[in-house]
Amino acid sequence: MNLEIRHNPAFAVIRASIGSGEQISIESGAMMAMSGGVTLESKMEGGLKKGLMRSVLGGESLFITKLTGSKEGDWVDAAARLPGDIAVIDVDGSINLTSGAWLLSGSGVEIDTKWGGFKNLVGGEGGFLVRANGTGQVVCSCYGAMETYDIAAGESLVLDSGHLVAYEDGLSFTTRKVTSGLMQTLKSGEGLVFEFTGPGRVWAQTRNPGELITWLTSELPFSRD
């Protein structure tokens, strides 16, 4: 699989070039276009139980779309729901992604759901994370531009919970309030943050989807019967 990102960072599209018999997995509904030789199949990866866990707990679709090339030079274009950037992550083991971040992966990577702990639930990302296991490339999307933070051993990074996209397994983290007291939180507009401790890498988005929802809700008129 060869990956090429186009139209980034605002409206990124990823093209996955695949050969004969080569298969990739993408999030259901993410396929934008594909060459005529590619075959498409949607199924519950890992059976009903794992499919429901990804959908209900991990925030991804119940079905995963499998795309298979029939000849050299076949390709698939994929795009995310929200306008923003795309990053390609090389996985050799496992990596953790927040709800809605996974877009596409190669055949050597399995997408699963894991319990991220109550600290992740309190952080506003939901208690469950999408976990990519195996060896290969994973494509993740975000709202806005993608920012990468490399944290050295013993160093720390404080990140607003709504801006987290993905993080490596080697990192430890806690969840806490960024300010002390309710009034300070209301004045600053900030809430809960993740504090990561290295070594490891964190991927973040420059826009917060939760803030977009809050703004739209305040601007849209109330429905009337």
Q: For 145-174, write each residue's pLDDT tens digit.
A: 999 999 999 999 999 989 999 999 889 988
Q: To 10 degrees, the CA torsion angle through 213, 216, 146, 122?
A: -20
The Cα–Cα gap between 91 and 179 comes to 35
pLDDT score of 33:
97
Which regions in the chain score pLDDT beneath 50? 47-49, 51-60, 118-127, 181-189, 224-225
pLDDT score of 221:
79
Q: Which residues are CB-neighbours of 186 under 8 A, at least 6 positions away?
A: none
Question: Contact, 19 vs 69, CB < 8 A?
Answer: yes
SS3 127: coil
* Boundaries of every domain in the chain: 2-219
Give the CATH H-level superfamily of domain 2-219.
Answer: Mitochondrial biogenesis AIM24 (3.60.160.10)
